[in-house]
Amino acid sequence: MSILDWFTKDDARNSRYEERLNIPGDLWAQCPQCKEAIYLKTLASNFRVCDCHYHFRLSPEERIQMIFDDGSFSEIDTTLEAVDFLKFADTEPYSDRLKKAKKKTKHADAIVIGMATLHQLPVNIGVMDFGFMGGSMGSVVGEKIARIIEHAIHNKFPLIIFTSSGGARMQEGIMSLMQMAKTSAALQQLSEVSVPYISVLCDPTTGGTSASFAMLGDVNIAEPGALISFAGPRVIEQTIRQKLPKGFQRSEFLLEKGMLDRVVHRRDMRNILTTLIRLLNPHTTKKDVV
């Protein structure tokens, strides 16, 4: 019997075990890939990566803390908030979904942006939050991405965006579609002033996010095993009426197809990013390099 079986909820006998042992339920996490239970402290010390290389999804705070210099991050534009301008309601009103997501994530929307340093090198960063309505891109996400790009155009420091998003936010209708063009348009301006942009694609990066700023990095890097696609696997399977092969649309597959520069384990991310921005940024001064 694996340790995991202790925590199977629908097994009355095991739940009695748990009660008897009086183990708080939040000490372990189950790996969605290998199904092993991992002690949370072990997971944290291992960049929230399982022994089987499964990369757990991260909150923006966790990611920033893991990758950038301690305490170097200062967030900007924290006061932009979504508006339910279509009065959209599916199984739940959009305004309620927003309220819940804000409460759950403590963020105003599905991305945080700001300045940080990487081995003392200043960078402009955007970090998406899949926990906020599936990281979907509506007006606020689009606006914040455009603003951090404009910061980079202005300050000439490299731009790094970590994506984790299901795509456009349907609750904002066509306006969310236009965010794809808005963010890509801003990146065109960034290209024209030769400031490097590194896109780090994390699980999952699909739909309107992959078909806009996520795929437009000067360098595209992905975390291992991330789902990266235009159309989701289920949609494709319905269209072609076939099962897709294992690993289809995962990072390693995209690397092989030429869509990514590298697949990088989370533990190496900080160093790879540092090296790349050092090498690529034509605006880096000698002082910065020391």
Partner 1 sequence: MKALDFEKPIYDLQEKIDELRQLAASTDMDLQSDIDAIEARADMLKAQIYASLTPGQIIQIARHPNRPNTLALANLLCSDFVELKGDRCFRDDPSIVGGVGTLGQYRVMIIGHQKGSDTKEKIRRNFGMPHPEGYRKALRLMKMADKFGMPIVTFVDTPGAYPGKEAEERGQAEAIAKNLKEMTGLCVPVVSVVIGEGGSGGALGIAVSNRILMLEYAVYSVISPEGCASILFRDASRAEYAAEKLKITAQDVVDLGIADRILPEPLGGAHHDWQVVSETIAAALADELDRLSALSREAVKADRYQKFRSFGRYKDTAIQAVSALPSAKSSKSSKKKL
Instruction: Pick out residues in 99-158 that bind partner 1 (CB under 8 A).
Output: 112, 114, 139-140, 142-143, 146
User: What secondary structure does DSSP assign to 26-37, as a single string?
Assistant: TSEEE-TTT--E
- Alpha-carbon gap, residue 269 to 226, rounded angstroms: 15
CA distances, 182 to each of 189, 208, 270 (Å): 11, 12, 29
- For the bound state, the minimum distance from the C-beta of residue 178 to partner 1, rounded and expressed in Å, comes to 4
- For the bound state, the minimum distance from the C-beta of residue 37 to partner 1, rounded and expressed in Å, comes to 30
Between 8 and 120, CB nearer to partner 1: 120
Q: How many CB atoms lie within 10 A of CB 202?
A: 27
According to CB under 8 A, which one of 249, 251, 274, 284 is a site residue for partner 1? Answer: 249
Under rule CB under 8 A, which residues in 18-37 are in contact with partner 1? none
Q: Is 82 in the site for partner 1 (CB under 8 A)?
A: yes
According to CB under 8 A, which one of 36, 191, 224, 288 is a site residue for partner 1? Answer: 191
Distance of CA 272 to the CA centre of its chain: 17
Binding marks (x or -) toward partner 1, 37..76, rule CB under 8 A? ------------------------x--x------x-xxxx
> Which residue type is seen at 4?
L
- Alpha-carbon gap, residue 223 to 175, rounded angstroms: 29
According to CB under 8 A, which one of 13, 103, 257, 286 is a site residue for partner 1? Answer: 257
Between 28 and 114, CB nearer to partner 1: 114
Between 77 and 288, CB nearer to partner 1: 77
According to CB under 8 A, which one of 51, 81, 96, 268 is a site residue for partner 1? Answer: 81
According to CB under 8 A, which one of 231, 272, 283, 288 is a site residue for partner 1? Answer: 231
Under rule CB under 8 A, which residues in 258-277 are in contact with partner 1? 258-259
According to CB under 8 A, which one of 43, 44, 175, 272 is a site residue for partner 1? Answer: 175
Q: Return the closest-CA partner of residue 230 out of 205, 248, 247.
A: 205
Q: How many CB atoms lie within 10 A of CB 286?
A: 6
Counting every residue, how long is the chain? 290
Whether the upstream peptide bond of residue 204 has omega within 30° of 0, thus cis, is yes
- For the bound state, the minimum distance from the C-beta of residue 156 to partner 1, rounded and expressed in Å, comes to 19
- For the bound state, the minimum distance from the C-beta of residue 122 to partner 1, rounded and expressed in Å, comes to 15
Tokens of 158: 């490299």
Q: Return the closest-CA partner of residue 205 out of 286, 256, 259, 244.
A: 259
